[in-house]
Structure 1
Amino acid sequence: MHIMFTLKDFKLGGGVEHVQQLLAGQFLKDGQRVSFFVMNGETPDVEGAQITGGGGTGLLGLIKSIVLLRGIIRHEGVTHLISAKEQANLCTWVATLGSRCQVIYTRHTALDCAEQKTGVHSLRLLYALYLCGSGKVVTVSHGLHQTIARLMPWGRERIRYCPNAVVNEQLHIASRAPLPQDMPHDYWIGVGRLVELKGFHLLLQAYALVNHNPDVPDLVIVGDGPQREALTAQARQLGIADRVHFTGHLQNPYPLIRRARLLILSSFSEGQPTVLIEAMALGTPVLASDCPTGPRELLDNGRLGQLVKVNDVSDLAQALQQSLYLRAHSARSMIRTVRPYTSVHAAHAYYAVWAQ
């Protein structure tokens, strides 16, 4: 096999990019030839994989990328493709017209994600196009699979679920590194890109409501993004700046996740939140908004962690307060739950989709 990943861009710290890297690493271990095609020309760091830049951004960049990708597929003998994010999916669909490549178009976020630029009706049309060819659509959660299959029942047989590649031995090794300097010894943690979709502004409001309790630990927020300045200002306005620690992007956040008293996910929307899987694999208690489509599925309807209403500060604050006195769930049961999200398991799921 020559497996190529096609991506629109490669954002530092991006969840989609991270799971694609881990999946690529497993394919390489399995002896496959692996390459990346990144439309805007950014270059992921995957040892052993061939990296090719695309035609750039905008409509002209899309057209150039289609031409480039079509030529690479033909000249490099690409046999299998995995695309992620809609511009890359569309680029791949056009570039592989008439090709014998086995293509998987992946969907990593809910169809009604507020951050996306493409509306639900347009997405439905795009996925209908993908399913009209010989390709298959893969979703990263069972809930998202049901949503797409419900919209296009005629294509149900070629809509599949594959778990994200999240857990491997490197995760556990990385989590045993020393903590960054100037971090508190007792803390809750939130991890993700600092964008509105992740709901960190809600987390700060909820934290301010419970901060009066002497048992409440500090709050560490790991990640970077366009809202960092606004969130820092919000913490000052709420009078909690001395208890909230913004680390920025960390190459290795796992020591902080492993030692946290609680990991909090306050998102409005997710596909399959990798940070929840990572925390559970490391035995860290979790609390998450009950957003579409992954948290309820991962937390077994709340059995393995508290679920709170989406965009509800008071419900989040109440759950934070309750977490101080709840008995932690068994680390063993959480680790058993995330076993399907190992790189090995995920790679075999993709092999199975191609074989069907």
Structure 2
Amino acid sequence: MHILFTLKDFKEGGGVERVQQRLAEQFLKDGQRVSVFVMNGETPDVAGAPALDGGGNGLFGLIKSVVLLRRIIRREGVTHLISAKEQANLCTWFATLGSGCHVIYTRHTALDCSEQKTGVHSLRLLYALYLCGSGQVVAVSHGLHQALARLMPWGRQRIRYCPNAVVTDQLYAAARGPLPKGLPREYWIAVGRLIELKGFHLLLEAYAQVASNPLVPDLMIVGDGPMRESLIDQAQRLGIARRVTFTGHLGNPYPLIRHARLLILSSFYEGQPTVLIEALALGTPVLATDCPSGPRELLDNGRLGQLVRVNDVPDLARGLEQSLDLAAHSARSMAHTVNPYTSEHAAQAYYQVWNL
């Protein structure tokens, strides 16, 4: 079995990239041959999996990537493909036309997502195209799987759910690493790309409403993105700049997550938010917006963590204050909860899809 991952890009710290990397590492551990094709030529960090350059960005880059990928499939004897994000899915569809490859097209983001340029009607056409071939479509949460099945009920037999590969031995090892110096003794943490979709601006508003409570710890925001400067300015305007730390991108945020009093997810949309799974695996209490399509499913309708309304600053502020009474879980006690999201379990789910 030669498994090829097809990606549009490989952003540092990207959630989709991270779970694909962990899945690739598990396939390698299983003795499979693995390669990674990145359309814009960025280099993934997957030891043992050769990185193959694509054709670049834009329409010309897509066409060139299709030609390159088709050649690679024939030359390298690729038998199985997993693609992620729509440009990579489309590239894979064209490149595998007429081939005998076993193809999985993955969907990691909620269908109704303002960040993406592709609307729901266009997505229906794209996924109808994928399902017209011999490939399978995989959604990374049950909610997303149901949404895709409703969008194309005629193709539901080839729309499957596979969990993301999140929990690995490397995650636990990384979490035992040293903490950066100069941290507050206690803190809340939020992790993600600094874009509007993630709702960090709402988190700052909510934090400003509770920051006067002497029991409220400082807030750490880990990540980078186009909204960083505007968020720093917002913290200044709200008078909480001394209580909020923007760390930028960190190669290893897991010691910070492990020692946090609370991990906060303030998103408008998600597919399957891996940072929630990571926090649960490390025993950190979580609070998340009840956004489509992953938090409610991951948190068992609020049993495993707090859920608050989406785009509702007062409700988020109430949730933050209520979290002051939460105690950390032991990672051992959460093991059964996160087991479906181990890399071993995720790899087995993909094998099962291919064997259908």
| TM class, shorter-length | over 0.9
Could you tell me which amino acid in structure 1 is paired with residue 196 of structure 2? E
Which residue does 1:8 correspond to in 2? 8
Q: Deviations over 1:191-233 (max 9, x none)?
A: 0000110000000000000001000000000000111101011
Which residue does 1:233 correspond to in 2? 233
Q: Is the 8 A contact 2:285 2:326 kept in 1?
A: no
Distance 1:285 1:19 in 2: 22
Which residue does 1:163 correspond to in 2? 163
Which residue does 2:80 correspond to in 1? 80
Stretch deviating more after TM superposition (320-329 or 277-286): 320-329
Which residue does 2:24 correspond to in 1? 24
Distance 2:157 2:48 in 1: 34
Stretch deviating more after TM superposition (85-94 or 317-326): 317-326
What is the deviation of 1:267? Answer: 0.3
Distance 2:312 2:57 in 1: 37
Report SS of the residue matched to 2:229: helix
Which residue does 1:174 correspond to in 2? 174
Which residue does 1:148 correspond to in 2? 148
Which residue does 2:125 correspond to in 1? 125
Stretch deviating more after TM superposition (308-317 or 331-340): 331-340
Distance 2:44 2:110 in 1: 25
User: Tell me, which stretches of 5 or more residues in structure 1 are unaligned?
Assistant: none
Could you tell me which amino acid in structure 2 is paired with residue 155 of structure 1? G
Could you tell me which amino acid in structure 2 is paired with residue 219 of structure 1? L
Which residue does 1:250 correspond to in 2? 250
Q: Is the 8 A contact 1:304 1:329 kept in 2?
A: no
Could you tell me which amino acid in structure 2 is paired with residue 297 of structure 1? E
Distance 2:340 2:326 in 1: 27
TM-score of the two chains, using structure 2 as the length reference: 0.99
What is the deviation of 1:308? Answer: 0.4
What is the deviation of 1:334? Answer: 3.0
Which residue does 1:300 correspond to in 2? 300
Compared CA separation, residues 282 and 327, structure 1 to 2 (3 A): closer
Which residue does 2:116 correspond to in 1? 116
Report SS of the residue matched to 1:5: strand
Distance 1:9 1:326 in 2: 39
1:280 partnered with 2:280: yes
What is the deviation of 1:328? Answer: 5.1
Distance 1:117 1:318 in 2: 34
Q: Deviations over 1:113-135 (max 9, x none)?
A: 11001011000100000001000
Q: Is the 8 A contact 2:283 2:328 kept in 1?
A: no
Q: Is the 8 A contact 1:305 1:329 kept in 2?
A: no
Q: Is the 8 A contact 2:285 2:327 kept in 1?
A: no
Q: Deviations over 1:241-293 (max 9, x none)?
A: 00001110000000000000000000000000000000000000000000000
User: Tell me, which stretches of 5 or more residues in structure 2 are unaligned?
Assistant: none
What is the deviation of 1:40? Answer: 0.6
Which residue does 2:216 correspond to in 1? 216
Alignment of 1:43-82 (within 5 A): 43-82=43-82
Q: Deviations over 1:36-93 (max 9, x none)?
A: 1100111101110011111101101000000000010011100000000000000000
What is the deviation of 1:325? Answer: 2.2
Distance 1:53 1:19 in 2: 20
Report SS of the residue matched to 2:334: helix
Could you tell me which amino acid in structure 1 is paired with residue 155 of structure 2? G
TM-score of the two chains, using structure 1 as the length reference: 0.99
Which residue does 2:352 correspond to in 1? 352
Which residue does 1:205 correspond to in 2? 205
Which residue does 1:324 correspond to in 2? 324
Compared CA separation, residues 329 and 31, structure 1 to 2 (3 A): closer
Distance 1:42 1:327 in 2: 41
Distance 2:329 2:33 in 1: 41
Identity rate, percent: 79
Distance 1:236 1:332 in 2: 40
Q: CA RMSD in A?
A: 0.9
Q: How many pairs are equivalent?
A: 356
Distance 2:77 2:326 in 1: 55
Which residue does 1:139 correspond to in 2? 139
